[in-house]
Structure 1
Amino acid sequence: MKALLISLLAVIGSQAVAQTTVPFDSSAWIYEGKVTKESFQGKDGIRLTDGRITLKDNTFKNGIIEFDMTLSPDRDFPGFGFRMQDKDEFEHIYLRPHRVGNPDAIQYIPIFNGQDSWQFYYGDGYSTTVNYPMNEWVHIKLVVRESQAEIYIGQSTEPSLVIHQLKREPKAGRISLENGAPITTRFANFQYTKTDNPPMAGKFKPEAAPQLGTLLNWQVSSTFDEKLLQTDYTLPQAVASRLTWSNLTAENSGKLNISRIRKRNEEANTVFVKLTIVSDKPQVKKLDLGFSDRAKVYLNSRLLYAGHDEFLSRDYRFLGTVGYYDAIYLDLKKGPNDLWIAVSENFGGWGIQSMIADQSGLTIKP
């Protein structure tokens, strides 16, 4: 009798997390862009271009999201958002059908303050190789639990992308389906399940500890126009004197995502990040640096370095991804040394990655 009761409770529990199917003609959606009801290859759905549709339900935190979609081989970035707080704050998954078979055919990024960040987040845990069928239905499934998620493509029982660490705080929000281009993308059979314990098959990795010498603690200024730095070879005091500052901690990788606390626009696309290096004697130390999109490095108010790593700035294949690709040798005086880095952004990721591997004789503070 006890065993029967346990079985009945298990059945009731499974029903409590049943899937919710939401037709696309339901009032449960908010429509933006061009949405056309359409039947294609035996499935009723919508054709979506130049916009998104957003579910009004704002309580999805953990669980499963599933739908079917069609893809075109043209350059496009259709996908979906989840845990949306608003249009500028959400977790984002999108597909690159024109990159089918390549290591970046699918992408996860966090959206902070409306800013893309694919130049920051790439490779294992963020993007991977997928082979999509074109112009026919393919099933997409997300499973998410707290700070971990996995994506299934087609009927595979193994996840195509394992997201080891979602970058935003786990917080309930809305779900959206998106296609920002005029290229045809269709969606059908949308459903979702809210449950705190969805089954997951991925092999998740813990976040690695910071490398020795990683610079984690910075101050970040208010935003200003990059043009104010174009003619000076020393730190412009007229700009510096009117800035306000906030503390920001980098991720363990050393990547400092400025968009977490700052919103850029065309007239205010730059911030300074700064820290103080106290040296016990005059000495030279190597600063390893990555950045997106442009950086100017000042030591004790003197300009030492300027770099440009924006998308396509070197050739048609240059992505501008952030890594330790540059090095600067800091000629430190005894005592405090002020390190300021101006970081300017177009799109794709706003911030730096930095390390001073040899910190002997140094005290570093924001």
Structure 2
Amino acid sequence: MLSLCFLVSFSQTSKTKIEMIAANWNVTEEATFEKFDNRETLLLKRGRITVKNQKFINGSIEVDVYANTVRSFAGITFRKNDNTMEEVYMRLHKTNQADAVQYTPIFNNESNWQLYREHQANVLFKNKGWNALRIEINNDQAEVFVNNEKVMTISNLRTDNTSGEIGLFALFSNRFSNFRITPKESSKESEKVRETPTDLNIIRQWKITEAKLFNRQRLNFKDFLKEKYITVTTEKSGLLPISKYIKKASSGNFEQNTEDYTIAFTNISSEKEETKLFSFDYSDTILVYLNGKIIFEGKNGFRTKGVQYMGHLDINTNTLYLPLKKGNNTIHCVVIDKANGWGLMAKLQ
């Protein structure tokens, strides 16, 4: 019995190399396995490819990526279940820039990097040879290493997935080699901390509709009142990652997506006529209605205000003074998105 326990423990902490041959992977038409630089490699043009018959909970995942100076993305996908997963990737053309490495949760096949500006890192990549990417995952936390230097700590992995498939992600072609996994037991030090709001003025719950293709000419406020809504809760910061809760009609194709929208609704009860400050941010586009009348329109998508404009969210970016009537007041936000993160956050004070 003691011998058996030892063997089980050893297998859970031993490093396994997944060879770059088609038999080990759930192959897509975008993947080519070939010899390069005296290595077995995978050339992935775009999309994701997963390891066959492999579920991952905690431990380390490592891969080498060949240097690339043209615009491209190369990374690791883990805890993948259907179209929701965690993802960390290198943007090799962004060497020595603030967003060279990014983490994003993928909700319903949609990337959300625009919503998580805190999970980006400035990294100087090698411009020749291989760059090593390693992720150490422990429950809801992760540490990211590039060429054996820690570049990012993720204190709260955003999906609710605790296990799932592992694999690789690429956009605009990248070459991978030497893929390794080391499963490990979880550490109790990484127990998930219950989130509590730091600002009591944050709107923590919204009611939202299903996603629909956006057509401005067909919007009619009277139709908003007939919609079916589900109640959803924001993150600690007040951020509502909309794709976590509803699936887009068009998804997974980045800027080639069509525009989808949802209606986010909340009630405000006031004991008297008064004015309150409504602070908010959103992605990509918004129409705000107070008591059925439109009071704000704005755009905050990636590159909408210049080539380098990221469209990150900050709850204090936009402010409106709301003239509230005595009794019940309603706010309806039509939030429209194409790609990179569908989000809303707001507070009232």
TM above 0.5, yes or no, is yes
Which deviates more, 144-153 or 263-272?
A: 263-272
Quote the residue 1:45 is aligned against: 41
Give 2:140's match in structure 1, choosing from 147, 155, 170.
Answer: 147
- Asked if the contact 2:139–2:186 (Cα under 8 Å) also holds between the matched residues in 1, the reply is no
Quote the residue 2:221 is aligned against: 236
CA offsets, 1:61-112, max 9 Å, x none?
11111121113111111212100112x2111111111211111110101011
Alignment of 1:344 onto 2:336: yes
Q: CA deviation at 1:211?
A: 1.8
**Cα gap change, 1:52/1:276 in structure 2, threshold over 3 Å: closer, same or farther?**
closer
Give 1:192's match in structure 2, choosing from 153, 158, 181.
Answer: 181
CA offsets, 1:279-328, max 9 Å, x none?
01101111101000011111110111111111111211111111131111
Q: CA deviation at 1:11?
A: 8.5
Alignment of 1:269 onto 2:260: yes
Alignment of 1:175 onto 2:166: yes
| Amino acid of the structure 2 residue aligned with 1:344 | I
- Asked if the contact 1:164–1:205 (Cα under 8 Å) also holds between the matched residues in 2, the reply is no
**Cα gap change, 1:100/1:268 in structure 2, threshold over 3 Å: closer, same or farther?**
closer
- Asked if the contact 2:20–2:40 (Cα under 8 Å) also holds between the matched residues in 1, the reply is no
Quote the residue 1:299 is aligned against: 290
Alignment of 1:166 onto 2:157: yes
- Asked if the contact 2:20–2:42 (Cα under 8 Å) also holds between the matched residues in 1, the reply is yes
Say which SS state the counterpart of residue 243 (structure 2) adopts.
helix
- Asked if the contact 2:213–2:249 (Cα under 8 Å) also holds between the matched residues in 1, the reply is no
Structure whose CA Rg is larger:
1
| Amino acid of the structure 1 residue aligned with 2:171 | G
- Asked if the contact 1:223–1:268 (Cα under 8 Å) also holds between the matched residues in 2, the reply is no
**Cα gap change, 1:169/1:22 in structure 2, threshold over 3 Å: closer, same or farther?**
same
| Amino acid of the structure 1 residue aligned with 2:209 | S
- Asked if the contact 1:210–1:254 (Cα under 8 Å) also holds between the matched residues in 2, the reply is no
- Asked if the contact 2:144–2:151 (Cα under 8 Å) also holds between the matched residues in 1, the reply is yes
Give distance in 1, aligned partners of 2:306 and 2:327: 42
- The count of aligned residue pairs is 340
Moved over 6 A (4+): 6-12, 204-208
Give distance in 1, aligned partners of 2:124 and 2:188: 24
Give distance in 1, aligned partners of 2:63 and 2:188: 18
| Amino acid of the structure 1 residue aligned with 2:238 | G
Alignment of 1:107 onto 2:98: no
Alignment of 1:278 onto 2:266: no
Unaligned runs of 5+ residues in structure 1 are 1-5, 359-366
| Amino acid of the structure 2 residue aligned with 1:255 | L
Alignment RMSD: 2.7
Instruction: List aligned pairs for 1:97-136, cutoff 5 A.
Output: 97-123=92-118, 126-136=119-129
**Cα gap change, 1:7/1:101 in structure 2, threshold over 3 Å: closer, same or farther?**
farther
Q: CA deviation at 1:214?
A: 0.8
Quote the residue 1:219 is aligned against: 207
Q: CA deviation at 1:7?
A: 12
Q: CA deviation at 1:352?
A: 0.6
Which deviates more, 62-71 or 102-111?
A: 62-71
Give the TM-score, by structure 1 length.
0.85
Give distance in 1, aligned partners of 2:242 and 2:194: 24
**Cα gap change, 1:97/1:222 in structure 2, threshold over 3 Å: closer, same or farther?**
same
| Amino acid of the structure 2 residue aligned with 1:336 | N
**Cα gap change, 1:213/1:198 in structure 2, threshold over 3 Å: closer, same or farther?**
closer
Select the structure that is richer in strand. 2
Give distance in 1, aligned partners of 2:327 and 2:73: 50
Q: CA deviation at 1:206?
A: 9.3
Say which SS state the counterpart of residue 89 (structure 2) adopts.
strand
Say which SS state the counterpart of residue 295 (structure 1) adopts.
strand
Instruction: List aligned pairs for 1:195-214, cutoff 5 A.
Output: 195-197=184-186, 209-214=197-202
CA offsets, 1:182-214, max 9 Å, x none?
x3x2211111122223799x9x99967432311
Quote the residue 2:253 is aligned against: none
Give 1:95's match in structure 2, choosing from 87, 90, 104.
Answer: 90
- Asked if the contact 1:295–1:342 (Cα under 8 Å) also holds between the matched residues in 2, the reply is yes
Give 1:249's match in structure 2, choosing from 228, 233, 239.
Answer: 233
Give distance in 2, aligned partners of 1:241 and 1:302: 13
Unaligned runs of 5+ residues in structure 2 are 251-257
**Cα gap change, 1:56/1:242 in structure 2, threshold over 3 Å: closer, same or farther?**
farther
Quote the residue 1:353 is aligned against: 345
**Cα gap change, 1:248/1:8 in structure 2, threshold over 3 Å: closer, same or farther?**
closer
Q: CA deviation at 1:240?
A: 1.7
| Amino acid of the structure 1 residue aligned with 2:122 | T
